Protein backbone atom coordinates (compact mmCIF):
# COMPACT_ATOMS: atom_id res chain seq x y z
CA UNK A 1 0.00 0.00 0.00
CA UNK A 2 2.87 2.35 0.87
CA UNK A 3 4.54 1.53 -2.46
CA UNK A 4 1.37 2.49 -4.34
CA UNK A 5 1.21 5.86 -2.52
CA UNK A 6 4.86 6.60 -3.25
CA UNK A 7 4.37 5.80 -6.91
CA UNK A 8 1.48 8.26 -7.01
CA UNK A 9 3.17 11.00 -4.98
CA UNK A 10 6.57 11.06 -6.74
CA UNK A 11 5.23 11.88 -10.25
CA UNK A 12 2.96 14.49 -8.70
CA UNK A 13 5.93 16.15 -6.98
CA UNK A 14 7.92 16.11 -10.20
CA UNK A 15 4.98 17.73 -12.01
CA UNK A 16 4.69 20.43 -9.34
CA UNK A 17 8.41 21.18 -9.58
CA UNK A 18 8.23 21.36 -13.35
CA UNK A 19 5.27 23.72 -13.21
CA UNK A 20 7.08 25.89 -10.67
CA UNK A 21 10.18 25.96 -12.84
CA UNK A 22 8.15 26.84 -15.90
CA UNK A 23 6.36 29.57 -13.99
CA UNK A 24 9.65 31.07 -12.89
CA UNK A 25 10.98 30.91 -16.42
CA UNK A 26 7.86 32.65 -17.75
CA UNK A 27 8.17 35.44 -15.18
CA UNK A 28 11.85 35.86 -15.99
CA UNK A 29 10.99 35.96 -19.68
CA UNK A 30 8.38 38.64 -19.05
CA UNK A 31 10.91 40.71 -17.09
CA UNK A 32 13.52 40.25 -19.81
CA UNK A 33 11.06 41.26 -22.51
CA UNK A 34 10.02 44.28 -20.48
CA UNK A 35 13.65 45.23 -19.97
CA UNK A 36 14.36 44.80 -23.67
CA UNK A 37 11.41 47.01 -24.56
CA UNK A 38 12.57 49.73 -22.19
CA UNK A 39 16.10 49.53 -23.58
CA UNK A 40 14.82 49.68 -27.16
CA UNK A 41 12.72 52.75 -26.29
CA UNK A 42 15.71 54.39 -24.63
CA UNK A 43 17.90 53.82 -27.67
CA UNK A 44 15.20 55.06 -30.02
CA UNK A 45 14.71 58.18 -27.92
CA UNK A 46 18.45 58.91 -27.90
CA UNK A 47 18.81 58.42 -31.67
CA UNK A 48 18.34 61.18 -34.22
CA UNK A 49 15.28 60.04 -36.17
CA UNK A 50 14.72 61.11 -39.78
CA UNK A 51 11.52 60.60 -41.81
CA UNK A 52 12.35 59.51 -45.35
CA UNK A 53 10.55 58.35 -48.49
CA UNK A 54 11.47 56.11 -51.46
CA UNK A 55 12.63 59.14 -53.47
CA UNK A 56 15.96 60.24 -54.88
CA UNK A 57 16.28 63.34 -52.69
CA UNK A 58 16.81 60.95 -49.77
CA UNK A 59 19.74 59.16 -51.44
CA UNK A 60 22.50 60.97 -49.45
CA UNK A 61 20.83 59.81 -46.23
CA UNK A 62 20.72 56.21 -47.50
CA UNK A 63 24.35 56.39 -48.67
CA UNK A 64 25.56 57.80 -45.34
CA UNK A 65 23.85 54.94 -43.53
CA UNK A 66 25.34 52.40 -45.98
CA UNK A 67 28.86 53.72 -45.36
CA UNK A 68 28.23 53.83 -41.58
CA UNK A 69 28.94 57.56 -41.50
CA UNK A 70 26.47 57.98 -38.65
CA UNK A 71 28.51 55.83 -36.27
CA UNK A 72 30.12 58.89 -34.66
CA UNK A 73 26.72 60.19 -33.56
CA UNK A 74 25.90 59.68 -29.92
CA UNK A 75 22.75 57.59 -30.09
CA UNK A 76 23.05 56.98 -33.83
CA UNK A 77 20.53 57.70 -36.56
CA UNK A 78 17.24 55.89 -37.11
CA UNK A 79 15.53 56.20 -40.49
CA UNK A 80 11.73 56.06 -40.42
CA UNK A 81 10.30 55.00 -43.77
CA UNK A 82 7.03 56.32 -45.19
CA UNK A 83 5.30 56.09 -48.57
CA UNK A 84 3.49 59.44 -48.37
CA UNK A 85 4.78 62.91 -47.57
CA UNK A 86 1.79 63.59 -45.33
CA UNK A 87 2.83 60.68 -43.09
CA UNK A 88 6.38 62.05 -42.85
CA UNK A 89 5.05 65.43 -41.80
CA UNK A 90 2.65 63.93 -39.27
CA UNK A 91 5.60 62.10 -37.71
CA UNK A 92 7.59 65.31 -37.21
CA UNK A 93 4.57 67.31 -36.05
CA UNK A 94 3.89 64.72 -33.34
CA UNK A 95 7.53 64.53 -32.27
CA UNK A 96 8.11 60.97 -33.46
CA UNK A 97 11.07 62.13 -35.55
CA UNK A 98 13.45 65.07 -35.33
CA UNK A 99 14.12 65.54 -39.05
CA UNK A 100 12.26 65.17 -42.32
CA UNK A 101 12.73 65.36 -46.07
CA UNK A 102 9.82 67.52 -47.22
CA UNK A 103 9.00 70.50 -49.43
CA UNK A 104 8.79 74.20 -48.59
CA UNK A 105 5.02 74.37 -49.02
CA UNK A 106 4.42 71.66 -46.44
CA UNK A 107 7.19 73.02 -44.20
CA UNK A 108 5.58 76.47 -44.25
CA UNK A 109 2.22 74.94 -43.34
CA UNK A 110 3.73 73.01 -40.42
CA UNK A 111 5.50 76.14 -39.15
CA UNK A 112 2.32 78.19 -39.42
CA UNK A 113 0.46 75.52 -37.45
CA UNK A 114 2.93 75.57 -34.58
CA UNK A 115 5.78 73.19 -35.47
CA UNK A 116 8.79 75.46 -35.89
CA UNK A 117 11.33 74.01 -38.32
CA UNK A 118 14.98 74.71 -39.00
CA UNK A 119 15.82 74.52 -42.71
CA UNK A 120 19.22 72.88 -43.10
CA UNK A 121 19.37 72.81 -46.87
CA UNK A 122 17.55 72.67 -50.17
CA UNK A 123 17.53 69.24 -51.80
CA UNK A 124 17.86 68.40 -55.48
CA UNK A 125 14.25 67.22 -55.65
CA UNK A 126 12.28 68.30 -58.69
CA UNK A 127 8.73 67.49 -59.73
CA UNK A 128 7.36 66.62 -63.13
CA UNK A 129 3.76 66.64 -64.26
CA UNK A 130 3.43 63.45 -66.29
CA UNK A 131 0.45 63.00 -68.60
CA UNK A 132 -1.10 59.59 -69.12
CA UNK A 133 -0.06 58.70 -72.67
CA UNK A 134 -3.59 57.51 -73.44
CA UNK A 135 -4.91 61.00 -72.63
CA UNK A 136 -2.80 62.42 -75.49
CA UNK A 137 -1.94 65.61 -73.65
CA UNK A 138 0.96 67.70 -74.95
CA UNK A 139 0.37 71.14 -73.43
CA UNK A 140 -0.67 72.45 -70.02
CA UNK A 141 -3.72 74.22 -71.47
CA UNK A 142 -5.13 70.82 -72.42
CA UNK A 143 -5.59 70.04 -68.71
CA UNK A 144 -8.94 71.84 -68.79
CA UNK A 145 -11.53 69.44 -67.34
CA UNK A 146 -8.83 66.84 -66.52
CA UNK A 147 -7.95 64.96 -63.32
CA UNK A 148 -4.51 65.43 -61.77
CA UNK A 149 -2.98 63.34 -58.96
CA UNK A 150 -1.49 65.53 -56.25
CA UNK A 151 -1.30 66.11 -52.48
CA UNK A 152 -3.04 68.99 -50.72
CA UNK A 153 -0.91 71.66 -49.04
CA UNK A 154 2.23 70.43 -50.79
CA UNK A 155 4.44 71.59 -53.63
CA UNK A 156 2.13 69.70 -56.01
CA UNK A 157 -0.83 71.78 -54.78
CA UNK A 158 1.21 74.94 -55.42
CA UNK A 159 2.05 73.61 -58.89
CA UNK A 160 -1.63 73.04 -59.65
CA UNK A 161 -2.16 76.73 -58.98
CA UNK A 162 0.81 77.50 -61.23
CA UNK A 163 -0.87 75.53 -64.03
CA UNK A 164 -4.15 77.38 -63.48
CA UNK A 165 -2.47 80.81 -63.44
CA UNK A 166 -0.26 80.18 -66.47
CA UNK A 167 -3.00 78.71 -68.68
CA UNK A 168 -6.01 80.73 -67.46
CA UNK A 169 -7.89 77.45 -66.87
CA UNK A 170 -10.66 77.94 -64.34
CA UNK A 171 -9.49 76.56 -61.03
CA UNK A 172 -12.58 74.39 -60.62
CA UNK A 173 -11.94 72.85 -64.05
CA UNK A 174 -8.62 71.36 -62.98
CA UNK A 175 -9.73 68.42 -60.85
CA UNK A 176 -7.23 67.78 -58.07
CA UNK A 177 -7.32 64.17 -56.89
CA UNK A 178 -5.44 63.53 -53.66
CA UNK A 179 -3.20 60.47 -54.06
CA UNK A 180 -0.55 60.53 -51.34
CA UNK A 181 1.30 57.22 -51.71
CA UNK A 182 4.00 57.58 -54.41
CA UNK A 183 3.80 53.92 -55.41
CA UNK A 184 0.00 54.02 -55.68
CA UNK A 185 0.28 57.12 -57.85
CA UNK A 186 2.63 55.34 -60.26
CA UNK A 187 0.43 52.27 -60.36
CA UNK A 188 -2.60 54.40 -61.15
CA UNK A 189 -0.73 55.90 -64.09
CA UNK A 190 0.04 52.42 -65.38
CA UNK A 191 -3.62 51.50 -64.99
CA UNK A 192 -4.79 54.64 -66.88
CA UNK A 193 -6.90 55.78 -63.93
CA UNK A 194 -6.25 59.55 -64.15
CA UNK A 195 -5.13 62.06 -66.77
CA UNK A 196 -1.92 63.41 -65.22
CA UNK A 197 0.31 62.84 -62.18
CA UNK A 198 2.85 64.90 -60.26
CA UNK A 199 5.95 62.81 -59.58
CA UNK A 200 9.50 63.17 -58.42
CA UNK A 201 12.38 60.75 -59.00
CA UNK A 202 12.65 57.81 -59.46
CA UNK A 203 8.90 57.47 -60.03
CA UNK A 204 9.07 60.14 -62.76
CA UNK A 205 11.67 58.12 -64.66
CA UNK A 206 9.52 54.99 -64.34
CA UNK A 207 6.66 57.00 -65.86
CA UNK A 208 8.80 58.29 -68.73
CA UNK A 209 9.98 54.77 -69.54
CA UNK A 210 6.31 53.98 -70.13
CA UNK A 211 6.28 56.70 -72.83
CA UNK A 212 4.16 59.09 -70.81
CA UNK A 213 4.58 62.74 -71.74
CA UNK A 214 6.06 65.37 -69.39
CA UNK A 215 4.02 68.59 -69.34
CA UNK A 216 5.84 70.49 -66.61
CA UNK A 217 9.25 70.29 -64.90
CA UNK A 218 10.07 72.46 -61.87
CA UNK A 219 13.69 72.75 -63.02
CA UNK A 220 12.50 74.75 -66.03
CA UNK A 221 10.70 77.28 -63.86
CA UNK A 222 13.70 77.56 -61.49
CA UNK A 223 11.82 76.25 -58.47
CA UNK A 224 13.84 74.27 -55.89
CA UNK A 225 11.24 73.44 -53.30
CA UNK A 226 12.68 70.35 -51.61
CA UNK A 227 14.07 70.88 -48.12
CA UNK A 228 15.76 68.97 -45.30
CA UNK A 229 14.23 70.30 -42.07
CA UNK A 230 14.48 69.62 -38.33
CA UNK A 231 12.31 70.41 -35.32
CA UNK A 232 13.60 73.69 -33.91
CA UNK A 233 12.64 72.86 -30.32
CA UNK A 234 14.74 69.68 -30.44
CA UNK A 235 17.74 71.29 -32.12
CA UNK A 236 18.01 73.85 -29.31
CA UNK A 237 18.98 71.06 -26.93
CA UNK A 238 22.81 70.82 -26.73
CA UNK A 239 22.93 67.05 -27.29
CA UNK A 240 20.58 67.26 -30.29
CA UNK A 241 22.51 70.21 -31.71
CA UNK A 242 25.71 68.19 -31.55
CA UNK A 243 23.96 65.26 -33.24
CA UNK A 244 22.74 67.59 -35.99
CA UNK A 245 26.25 68.89 -36.65
CA UNK A 246 27.61 65.36 -37.03
CA UNK A 247 24.63 64.31 -39.15
CA UNK A 248 25.20 67.19 -41.55
CA UNK A 249 28.88 66.24 -41.92
CA UNK A 250 27.84 62.70 -42.81
CA UNK A 251 25.15 64.00 -45.20
CA UNK A 252 27.61 66.28 -47.02
CA UNK A 253 30.21 63.49 -47.24
CA UNK A 254 27.56 61.26 -48.81
CA UNK A 255 26.76 64.00 -51.36
CA UNK A 256 30.46 64.13 -52.27
CA UNK A 257 30.55 60.36 -52.73
CA UNK A 258 27.50 60.36 -55.01
CA UNK A 259 28.90 63.23 -57.09
CA UNK A 260 32.26 61.47 -57.39
CA UNK A 261 31.05 58.00 -58.36
CA UNK A 262 27.69 58.86 -59.92
CA UNK A 263 24.15 57.91 -58.98
CA UNK A 264 24.29 54.55 -60.77
CA UNK A 265 27.20 53.47 -58.57
CA UNK A 266 24.57 53.14 -55.84
CA UNK A 267 22.13 51.14 -57.94
CA UNK A 268 21.56 48.40 -55.30
CA UNK A 269 20.74 51.03 -52.65
CA UNK A 270 18.34 52.84 -54.95
CA UNK A 271 16.59 49.60 -55.94
CA UNK A 272 16.25 48.67 -52.28
CA UNK A 273 15.23 51.94 -50.67
CA UNK A 274 13.34 53.53 -53.58
CA UNK A 275 11.46 50.31 -54.33
CA UNK A 276 12.29 50.46 -58.00
CA UNK A 277 13.98 48.38 -60.72
CA UNK A 278 17.46 48.29 -62.20
CA UNK A 279 15.99 49.44 -65.52
CA UNK A 280 14.66 52.60 -63.87
CA UNK A 281 18.00 53.30 -62.16
CA UNK A 282 19.84 52.82 -65.46
CA UNK A 283 17.47 55.37 -67.05
CA UNK A 284 17.81 58.05 -64.35
CA UNK A 285 19.22 61.39 -65.51
CA UNK A 286 22.53 62.65 -64.18
CA UNK A 287 22.07 64.15 -60.75
CA UNK A 288 24.26 66.35 -58.59
CA UNK A 289 23.77 66.67 -54.87
CA UNK A 290 24.49 69.95 -53.11
CA UNK A 291 25.82 70.26 -49.59
CA UNK A 292 23.19 71.36 -47.10
CA UNK A 293 23.61 75.12 -47.00
CA UNK A 294 20.22 76.70 -46.43
CA UNK A 295 17.46 77.42 -48.93
CA UNK A 296 16.96 80.27 -51.39
CA UNK A 297 14.99 83.28 -50.17
CA UNK A 298 12.87 83.34 -53.32
CA UNK A 299 11.76 79.73 -52.81
CA UNK A 300 10.82 80.46 -49.20
CA UNK A 301 8.94 83.55 -50.42
CA UNK A 302 7.04 81.43 -52.94
CA UNK A 303 5.85 79.15 -50.16
CA UNK A 304 4.97 82.03 -47.82
CA UNK A 305 3.07 83.93 -50.50
CA UNK A 306 1.11 80.84 -51.50
CA UNK A 307 0.17 80.16 -47.90
CA UNK A 308 -1.03 83.74 -47.40
CA UNK A 309 -3.04 83.54 -50.61
CA UNK A 310 -4.73 80.33 -49.43
CA UNK A 311 -5.51 81.73 -45.98
Q: For 176-206, what is each residue's pLDDT tens digit?
A: 999 999 999 999 999 999 999 999 999 999 9
Q: What is the pTM of this model?
A: 0.85
Res 310: pLDDT:
87
What range defines the domain where residue 304 resides? 47-124+224-310
Residue 9 burial (CB count, 10 A): 10
Q: 260 with 206, same domain?
A: no
**pLDDT in the model for residue 18:** 53
> Which comes out higher in pLDDT, residue 138 or 30?
138
pLDDT at 22: 58
Angular region, 153: left φ>0, alpha ψ -120 to 50, beta rest: left
Q: What's the pLDDT at 16? A: 54
Please determine, for residue 4, whether its predicted confidence score (pLDDT) is greater than 60.
no
Phi-psi category of residue 168: left, alpha or beta, with phi > 0 → left and psi -120 to 50 → alpha: left
Whether 270 is covered by a domain: the verdict is yes
Q: pLDDT tens digits, residue range 98-122?
A: 999 999 999 999 999 999 999 999 9
Does residue 205 lie in a domain region?
yes
* β-sheet bridge partners, residue 99: 50, 230
CATH of the domain at 201: 3.40.190.10
CA distance 238 to 248: 15
The model's pLDDT over 247-257, given as tens digits with 9 standing for 90+, comes to 999 999 999 99
Residue 1: predicted pLDDT = 41
Same domain for 264 and 276? Answer: yes
- Tell whether 291 and 147 lie within a shared domain: no
Same domain, 201 and 248: no
Domains: count for the chain:
2
Q: How many residues does the chain have?
A: 311
Residues 179 and 211 in one domain: yes
Angle at 172 between CA 168 and CA 177, to 5 degrees: 115
Rounded to the nearest 10 degrees, the angle between the axes of helix 104-112 and helix 297-310 is 60
C-beta separation of 116 from 233 below 8 A? yes
Q: Of 10-14, 98-102, 120-124, 219-223, which gets the smallest average pLDDT?
A: 10-14
Amino acid sequence: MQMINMRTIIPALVLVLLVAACGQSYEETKKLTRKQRVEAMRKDSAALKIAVMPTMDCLPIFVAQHHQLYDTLNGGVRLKYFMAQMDCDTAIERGRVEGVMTDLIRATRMTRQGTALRYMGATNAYWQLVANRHARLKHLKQLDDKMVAMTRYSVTDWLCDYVVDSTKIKSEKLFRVQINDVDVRLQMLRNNELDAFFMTEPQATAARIGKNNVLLDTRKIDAWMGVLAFREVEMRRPERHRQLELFMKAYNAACDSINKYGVKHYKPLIVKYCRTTEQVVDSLPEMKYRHAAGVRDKDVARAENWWKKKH
